[in-house]
A and B are shown apart, each in its own frame.
Chain A
């Protein structure tokens, strides 16, 4: 069995940033395990721009953003195992992986989970019909187009207005395909506003809200879909059904954190985020195992993934180098209008803590209030808030010291 101070599972944006931050903090015995032949993760197929404005102060494409961090990893000579799939993780931090050399077992002082997420598949949607070719999750189509250079179809309908779906609507249009429609089950889009403007409006692609794909037609290759509006209970309104001929259906219907290893290690999972329950160090309920990036909570901006991964990386280094003693812990909770708050637990109220959250539905101007008992710890006003855009509120340590009980974040419209 090999031994390393820090083992990072996944070399995407989270894994890379965590590795760099841990190294810079002084823990240099780090390995990254990645399933692909290069690090960078999903960024490698996200050839569009819009990355890095917050974190790096300039606008980059996905591959460029990945290259910035890859360079940092290489400069620090951090060991990367490529084409290495982790197949098991135990609570005492033994990582089992497989690659062309055989089975690898590593005992780590700290493990950082950075496996990212996967796309929800057709199977989970119960759309009627057969199983023809031409039905892709948006990210699979993105990989085939941007990395392999193949066109997946000529005439497309996209179900789900998540960012990947919107980006792919533009991408297919640019390559000459006709995108007939983007259908969104909810009465609002799950994607960033800028993507609706740049990816749909620029190309005159209609976005149908409260609309779903209810039937798939075709035996071998997709021939068309039936779309229909849904009522407030998301039930199909029969009389609104209509047929759209198409050879491609892209699904952008949600991302699911890839927490199979997390579960294997017996780490408790938050049913709302579908990621591990963590404290402000991004340490899970199992000591020495940290989580960051989309495996912890699905982010909308990679910049915030990097931020989160740095917290995990630094905390893991801190634990490995110095051990750690925590003060009084308090839990966090989502109050009115807030779907979840992360971290779910604050172990140490001595430093400022940034709370991240998503709202339950789109709001206009709102005020967020962070409270513990009757004590108001922080407030923040936003001109608007939407489920597709993660909110961040920093609570000062001086205020945190007043928190004796659960810290709840709620909002009110103003």
Chain B
């Protein structure tokens, strides 16, 4: 199976043609090794970094921004969002603090300091 996708590793946005064939999946059109890897991953096991916000309960109208420390499988995005929405934290929070531990093989971490 052949798929035409746009590489999103960097703003350049190379047009990749991926021939999906298990172990022998091949990519053409990339400009760097990261792009080749993206092409394969995107067709075999697509992943995304998810960013959102979590309410800080002990500060008035304050939200802390969060992200997954590593990309997670694309199919799990909405399940993770549900989990993030159910989560609250208490300040202080530092950038990198783990907000939700060990979900889909990674952690959800803070991307903002809340004093």
Of B7-15, B20-28, B98-106, the segment with at least 4 beta carbons within 8 Å of chain A is: B7-15
Known A47-B111, A67-B95, A148-B63; judge A194-B6 contact (CB<8 A): yes
Name A194's contact: one of B13, B67, B78 (CB within 8 Å): B13
Known A67-B113, A193-B6, A202-B74; judge A301-B11 contact (CB<8 A): yes
State the CA gap A67–B64 with chains docked (Å).
13
Cβ–Cβ contact B8 & A47, under 8 A: no
Q: A70's closest neighbor in chain B, by CB? A: B113
B51 within 8 A of A: yes
A12 within 8 A of B: no
B65 within 8 A of A: yes
State the CA gap A63–B112 with chains docked (Å).
6
Name A47's contact: one of B14, B48, B51, B85 (CB within 8 Å): B51
A59 CB contacts on chain B under 8 angstroms: 49
Known A149-B63, A192-B13; judge A47-B53 contact (CB<8 A): yes
Name B81's contact: one of A61, A174, A192, A198 (CB within 8 Å): A174
Interface positions, chain B 68-103, Cβ under 8 Å from A, are 74, 77-78, 81, 85, 95
Name A193's contact: one of B13, B49, B74, B113 (CB within 8 Å): B13
The digit string for A46-57, where 1 denotes a CB below 8 A from any CB of B, is 011100011000
A67 CB contacts on chain B under 8 angstroms: 95, 112-113
A88 within 8 A of B: no
B19 within 8 A of A: no
A127 within 8 A of B: no
Name B6's contact: one of A49, A197, A300 (CB within 8 Å): A197
Interface positions, chain A 62-95, Cβ under 8 Å from B, are 62-64, 67
Q: How far is the CB of B83 from chain A (nearest CB, A)?
A: 12
Cβ–Cβ contact A196 & B6, under 8 A: yes
A354 within 8 A of B: no
State the CA gap A72–B49 with chains docked (Å).
27
B40 within 8 A of A: no
State the CA gap A290–B51 with chains docked (Å).
35
B52 CB contacts on chain A under 8 angstroms: 47, 174-175
B50 within 8 A of A: yes
Known A48-B51, A61-B51, A197-B5; judge A149-B11 contact (CB<8 A): no
State the CA gap A174–B50 with chains docked (Å).
9
B95 CB contacts on chain A under 8 angstroms: 63-64, 67
Q: A199's closest neighbor in chain B, by CB? A: B8
Cβ–Cβ contact B81 & A53, under 8 A: no
Known A63-B111, A389-B11; judge A202-B65 contact (CB<8 A): no
Cβ–Cβ contact A146 & B81, under 8 A: no
A62 CB contacts on chain B under 8 angstroms: 65
A147 within 8 A of B: yes
State the CA gap A63–B110 with chains docked (Å).
10
Q: B9's closest neighbor in chain A, by CB? A: A194
Cβ–Cβ contact B65 & A148, under 8 A: no
State the CA gap A174–B53 with chains docked (Å).
11
Q: How far is the CB of B106 from chain A (nearest CB, A)?
A: 13
Q: How far is the CB of A213 from chain B (nearest CB, A)?
A: 26
The digit string for A206-228, where 1 denotes a CB below 8 A from any CB of B, is 00000000000000000000000
B8 CB contacts on chain A under 8 angstroms: 193-194, 197-198
The digit string for A156-188, where 1 denotes a CB below 8 A from any CB of B, is 000000000000000000111000000000000
B14 CB contacts on chain A under 8 angstroms: 383
A64 CB contacts on chain B under 8 angstroms: 95, 111-112
Chain B residues at the A interface, C-beta cutoff of 8 Å: 5-11, 13-14, 31, 48-53, 55, 61-63, 65, 67, 74, 77-78, 81, 85, 95, 111-113
7 tightest A-B contacts by CB? A193-B13, A194-B8, A47-B65, A63-B112, A149-B63, A61-B111, A64-B111
Q: Apart from A63-B95, A192-B13, A194-B7, what are 7 other A-B pairs with CB-CB below 8 Å? A: A49-B67, A61-B111, A174-B77, A174-B81, A175-B81, A198-B8, A198-B48
> Could you write out 13 A-B pairs with CB less than 8 Å apart?
A47-B67, A61-B51, A67-B112, A146-B53, A149-B55, A149-B61, A175-B85, A192-B13, A193-B11, A194-B11, A198-B48, A301-B11, A383-B14
